[in-house]
Each structure stands twice: as C-alpha cells, then as structure tokens.
Amino acid sequence: MPYILVRGNLASYSHKYPWRVLVSGLKAADIEQLSRFSTIGYCDDSTIVYLQHPCIILTALEVLGYKVVASSSTSIKQDYNEYMWTMRKEFSEPEPDTVVKKAGMARNILLLQEHLTLHSDIH
C-alpha cells in the first residue's frame, strides 16, 4: 500500500503565503486531483508544495482515500510549529499474492472440470 508524507505549519509564516504544506510520494493521478489547490511547484522530485492550510490538504487527501496512520510535531523555528503526518492508501487493485491465489484456484477449477468431463465420458 502506498504511503505519503505530509508536512505543514499551523502558525502563519508570512502574510503573502501564510501556509505551506509539503506532500511527498503522491502518484500522478492524485496530483491531478489536487490541481485546484494553489502550489509553488516541486521542492524535489517527489515533493510538491501547496499554499493551503494543512487541514484543507489533509481533508482533500482523505477524500482521495488516504488515512492518517501517524503524526508528529517539531519546533523548526521559534514561532512556527511544523507537523508531519504519514498517510496510507489501500490498493485499488488486488495485492499480487491475491492474484496468484486466484490464478491457482482457476487452474484447480479447470483441472476439476477436465476430470469430471473424462469420467462422465466413461459412463
């Protein structure tokens, strides 16, 4: 299951851009879904910066299927509290192990059908 990291401030940084929320690990489809929110782009290959209050981004991510699994806070600067949330989203497709089990079950059903067909021809 995919995990993402969300880091944001609850105290305003400035009047021009009071809120900054960094989200790391989003897939392209999720970034597209969040495109209506103001952003200043990427700060690295996997982290996008949104100019919204953290509650807005966390709520939007929950609508996309993410759930908070852990959170923490640190005091990066004297007046600004930074918070970090780890979020998880369930796979929309089955886990690889489930696919293997289903393939094995399908093979067993085919073998059983062949066996029944062979034995029904004998009688």
CATH number for the domain harbouring residue 78: 3.30.1410.10
Residue 25 lies in a domain: yes
Range of the structural domain that residue 60 is part of:
3-89
Query: How many domains is the chain built from?
Result: 1
User: Is 103 part of a structural domain of the chain?
Assistant: no
> For residue 76, what pLDDT is reported?
59
pTM for the whole structure: 0.67
Residue-wise burial string across 11-43, b where 16 or more C-beta atoms lie within 10 A, e elsewhere: eeeeeeeebbbbbbbbeeebeeebeeeebeeee
For every one of its 123 residues, what pLDDT tens digit does the chain have, with 9 covering 90 and above?
A: 589 999 998 877 677 778 889 999 999 999 999 999 888 887 788 999 999 999 999 999 999 999 999 999 876 565 567 899 999 998 766 656 655 566 667 776 776 777 677 766 555
